[in-house]
Amino acid sequence: MPPDPSSIVCPVSTADAEVITLGHGGGGGLTRSLIEGMFLPAFADPALEARLDAGMVDLGDARLAFTTDTYVVSPPFFAGGDIGMLAVHGTVNDLAACAARPLFMSVGLILEEGFPMSSLRRVVESLAREAAAVGMRIVAGDTKVVERGKGDGIFVSASGIGLVQVDPRPGPDRIEEGDAILVSGDIGRHGVAVLATREGLAFETEIESDTAPLWDLVRALLDAGIELRCMRDPTRGGAATALVEIAEMAQCTIELDEPAVPVEPQVQGACELLGLDPLYVACEGRMLFVIPPGQASAALAGIRSHPLGRSGAVIGRVGERGTARVLMRSSIGSTRIIDLLSGEQLPRIC
Amino acid sequence: MPPDPSSIVCPVSTADAEVITLGHGGGGGLTRSLIEGMFLPAFADPALEARLDAGMVDLGDARLAFTTDTYVVSPPFFAGGDIGMLAVHGTVNDLAACAARPLFMSVGLILEEGFPMSSLRRVVESLAREAAAVGMRIVAGDTKVVERGKGDGIFVSASGIGLVQVDPRPGPDRIEEGDAILVSGDIGRHGVAVLATREGLAFETEIESDTAPLWDLVRALLDAGIELRCMRDPTRGGAATALVEIAEMAQCTIELDEPAVPVEPQVQGACELLGLDPLYVACEGRMLFVIPPGQASAALAGIRSHPLGRSGAVIGRVGERGTARVLMRSSIGSTRIIDLLSGEQLPRIC
């Protein structure tokens, strides 16, 4: 006789016995296991499955990009920026990576009891100033307060709506062999700046966050007729993680030229001191571009002529299709594979 | 000689010496002081200044409603619901209050290190199930993790985009003297259910949250040709706060008939035990309507014929314009003024 179905107890899966760790928020392998193992199957939506910086959806004749991020950066004020600037810039850059003009933004605040009103005012002023600077309207908001010890000063959630300006939209599916990979500027400054503020580290020269809104730079390239096949802003997990994700989604090899990757000497020095690889350190004002090879020079000129792209560079090319991997060729000709970090390199960097 | 400008130190204003208290998140007077004293002047946007449940913005020929809320309910699982259900229902109801069909939603999670993976799975399943039930797509997401002791299990931020179905849109500016005030069901259950779970209170009958998505109910009234002049979902601060806000925005008197306000006996009993006024206790599945007097009976019939409106009622009327106040007439004929609470009645109820 078969057993009574109600008497069957499913074994608890290993995954369900687990708890959340800091690594699940790091943007690397553990974050991906959450996304692929839980969120995508549950929400089952093509806009999510496309894994772009924003969800793209059609509404009438318009194609919208819709993005959300929560910001838990610690500390909320750091060299070169604050959590309010990050929230606006992160929203703008996620939309810009979808070639979408930023239109509307919402702001949710989770405040801890005892957070100074003067600090809140500074964050709100940053939000207002930075949004106005890119012509994005803040049209919805919410504020919650949690008891002392149940939060950490201030968390900000931000969502944005943009209008996609090109058809076909940019995305990894449009990448072709031979395409050039460009970055809009030197990498790793944001993560190092936050870490330095957090730990009270003093370097010879203060390293400031690169946080900046990149829509104007992206628009300049679109206006110049550059075909932006794919874009991604390298935040959590840095340029390495963003490029691995692109390679996996496009199922292609990406070949990077290590000496071409722009890293400021003081950032390089700080990373060596801290045991970090700048390729994995978050930027908040940089964009990665995949561009047809014939347009690489024009694109680089366009990037460098913009105030936010002075240190832009061509850093690699798309190799053969069929194998998803990122290869880094060093100045002495050796090659190493760049992979996702499995855990967390720098918690609470954004 | 005038003083050196750099030597002038501005006196710190009283407001800036203050810190955030739980009351600033309570939806009452302190929340309003933040909104009116800081957010509205800084963000200076007509969509915010309209003070509706969602910001309404035009995009091409479409009028969108855009809403955001963060959910910090404690505990995240309570009698009749969980934080995932709340996030979806709250989003749907804010859009429904603007007569907007819910289309797209984003979800941001702030998880505390150590939060059980099985609990996360339950929340994600709730989000997915409840969004699918109303045909709203989840198209963007984000996950952050904070260290143990820097959060409280799980916070959820949710934003939603809806398409406004009527023109002119509903709003307090459309209210006229003599209009009927209706509520879609008995009030106060959500707040009491959360509090009972939190404090481990056992009542004779378990009181379950009223959390529910009200778009289908609102659509039924629109389809029936009811003119929905103004709607508001009475969450934080309850029906009292929502009605005071309506009265202030419309600059009118609202006259409530106390015996007509539906409160379940066990909710009434629990409120008496706990020293709460059900009129100030949050609902998460109720809507307040302002409707032309000639349509009040038809609207009530429409509400009561919907599964989520069985206990709906006409609870009052709009009196003279020019004075913003809410008056409650008791069963013995006495009248009292209903005002905003200055502080926090029930922290972390949503």
> What pLDDT, on the 0 to 100 scale, is given for residue B170?
97
The token duo for A60 is 């009438």
User: Is there a domain that residue B296 lies in?
Assistant: yes
| Claim to verify: residue A180 and residue A153 sit in the same structural domain | no
Nearest CA in chain A to B112: A20
Scanning A15-74 for CB atoms below 8 A from B yields 15-26, 31, 34-35, 38-39, 42-45, 47-48, 54-55, 57, 59-62, 64, 66-72, 74
Of A31, A59, A104, the CB nearest to B143: A31
A108–B31 CB contact, under 8 Å = no
Nearest CA in chain B to A118: B16
Residue B219: count of CB within 10 angstroms of its CB: 15
Q: What is the DSSP string of B247-309?
A: HHHHTEEEEEEGGGS---HHHHHHHHHHT--GGGS--SS--EEEE-GGGHHHHHHHHHTSTT-
The sign one gets for the Cα dihedral A190, A191, A195, A198 is positive
Residue to substitute from A145, A348, A350, interface B, most B β-carbons within 10 A: A145
> What pLDDT, on the 0 to 100 scale, is given for residue B204?
75
**pLDDT, tens digit, 9 for 90 and up, residues B213-250:** 999 999 999 999 999 999 999 999 999 999 999 999 99
CA distance A85 to chain B (A): 14
CA distance B220 to chain A (A): 23
Chain B residues touching A150 at Cβ < 8 A: 74, 151-152
Where do the DSSP E strands lie in B76-179? 77-78, 81-82, 100-112, 137-146, 154-164
Chain B residues touching A107 at Cβ < 8 A: 68
What CA–CA distance (Å, rounded) separates A51 from A323? 19
CA distance A277 to chain B (A): 22
Instruction: Quote the mean pLDDT of chain B.
Output: 93
Last residue of one domain, picked from the residues A113, A138, A167: A167
Residue A15: count of CB within 10 angstroms of its CB: 13
| Claim to verify: residue A265 and residue A195 sit in the same structural domain | yes
| Claim to verify: residue A148 and residue A93 sit in the same structural domain | yes
| Claim to verify: residue B297 and residue B196 sit in the same structural domain | yes
> What pLDDT, on the 0 to 100 scale, is given for residue A344?
66
Of B38, B106, B111, the CB nearest to A68: B106
Of A35, A103, A159, the CB nearest to B106: A159
Ramachandran angles phi, psi of B163, nearest 5°: -110, 115
Q: Does residue B62 register a pLDDT over 90?
A: yes
Measured between CB atoms, does B104 come within 8 Å of chain A? yes
Residue to substitute from B72, B144, B344, interface A, most A β-carbons within 10 A: B144
Nearest CA in chain A to B21: A113
Last residue of one domain, picked from the residues B127, B146, B167: B167
> What pLDDT, on the 0 to 100 scale, is given for residue A343?
67
Chain A and chain B share a number of CB contacts under 8 A equal to: 268
Ramachandran angles phi, psi of B229, nearest 5°: -70, -35
The range of the structural domain enclosing residue B250 comes to 172-338
Strand partners, B290: B181, B230
Scanning A142-161 for CB atoms below 8 A from B yields 142-147, 149-152, 155, 157, 159, 161
> What pLDDT, on the 0 to 100 scale, is given for residue B5?
39
> What pLDDT, on the 0 to 100 scale, is given for residue A11?
42
> What pLDDT, on the 0 to 100 scale, is given for residue B330?
95
User: Is there a domain that residue B211 lies in?
Assistant: yes
What CA–CA distance (Å, rounded) separates B104 from B124? 16
Measured between CB atoms, does A288 come within 8 Å of chain B? no
User: Is there a domain that residue A301 lies in?
Assistant: yes
B137–A57 CB contact, under 8 Å = yes
| Claim to verify: residue B143 and residue B177 sit in the same structural domain | no
Last residue of one domain, picked from the residues B143, B167, B191: B167
Q: Is B237 helix (H, G, I), strand (E, B) or coil?
A: coil
Pairing of strands A325-329, A335-338: antiparallel
> What pLDDT, on the 0 to 100 scale, is given for residue A17?
61
The token duo for B252 is 């009118």
Pairing of strands A252-257, A325-329: parallel
Q: What is the pTM of this model?
A: 0.94
Q: Apex CA B158: angle with CA B157 and CA B159, to 5°? A: 130
| Claim to verify: residue B154 and residue B196 sit in the same structural domain | no
Measured between CB atoms, does B11 come within 8 Å of chain A? no
CA distance B101 to chain A (A): 12
User: Is there a domain that residue A176 lies in?
Assistant: yes
What CA–CA distance (Å, rounded) separates A251 from A228? 18
User: Is there a domain that residue A37 lies in?
Assistant: no
| Claim to verify: residue A199 and residue A316 sit in the same structural domain | yes
Of B48, B103, B150, the CB nearest to A141: B48
Nearest CA in chain A to B131: A43
B114–A19 CB contact, under 8 Å = yes
By C-alpha distance, which of A86, A214, A230 is closest to A162? Answer: A214
User: Is there a domain that residue B44 lies in?
Assistant: no
Per-residue pLDDT of chain A (350 residues; tens, 9 = 90+): 444 544 444 344 445 569 999 999 988 889 999 999 999 999 999 999 999 999 999 998 899 999 999 999 999 999 999 999 999 999 999 999 999 999 999 999 999 999 999 999 999 999 999 999 999 999 999 999 999 999 999 999 999 999 999 999 999 999 999 999 999 999 999 999 999 999 888 877 789 999 999 999 999 999 999 999 999 999 999 999 999 999 999 999 999 999 999 999 999 999 999 999 999 999 999 999 999 999 999 999 999 999 999 999 999 999 999 999 999 999 999 999 999 887 667 889 99
| Claim to verify: residue A179 and residue A290 sit in the same structural domain | yes
The token duo for A22 is 């800091």
Residue appearing with tokens 């060093």: A330
> What pLDDT, on the 0 to 100 scale, is given for residue A6?
45
**CATH code of the domain in which A256 resides:** 3.90.650.10
| Claim to verify: residue A186 and residue A326 sit in the same structural domain | yes
**CATH code of the domain in which B145 resides:** 3.30.1330.10
- Of the given ranges (A269-283, B8-22, B319-333, B334-348), which has the lowest mean pLDDT? B8-22
B72–A110 CB contact, under 8 Å = yes
B103–A64 CB contact, under 8 Å = no
The token duo for B6 is 């750099």
| Claim to verify: residue A125 and residue A186 sit in the same structural domain | no
| Claim to verify: residue A192 and residue A334 sit in the same structural domain | yes
B59–A15 CB contact, under 8 Å = no
B62–A57 CB contact, under 8 Å = no
> What pLDDT, on the 0 to 100 scale, is given for residue A8?
42
**pLDDT, tens digit, 9 for 90 and up, residues B5-34:** 344 443 444 455 699 999 999 888 899 999
Q: Does residue B203 register a pLDDT over 90?
A: no
Of A35, A48, A155, the CB nearest to B138: A48
CA distance A197 to chain B (A): 18
> What pLDDT, on the 0 to 100 scale, is given for residue B8?
41
Number of structural domains, chain A? 2
Q: Which residues of B31-51 are buried (b: 16+ CB within 10 A; e: fewer)?
A: bbebbeebbeebbebebbebb
User: Is there a domain that residue B31 lies in?
Assistant: no
Chain A residues touching B30 at Cβ < 8 A: none
Residue to substitute from A53, A64, A70, interface B, most B β-carbons within 10 A: A70
Helices (H), A97-138: 117-133
Q: Does residue B209 register a pLDDT over 80?
A: yes
User: Is there a domain that residue B343 lies in?
Assistant: no
| Claim to verify: residue B198 and residue B78 sit in the same structural domain | no
> What pLDDT, on the 0 to 100 scale, is given for residue A15?
54
Q: Which helix (H) or strand (E) holds A110?
A: strand A100-112
Give percent of chain B with pLDDT exceeding 70: 95
> What pLDDT, on the 0 to 100 scale, is given for residue B96?
98
Reported confidence tier of residue B201, pLDDT bands at 50, 70, 90:
confident
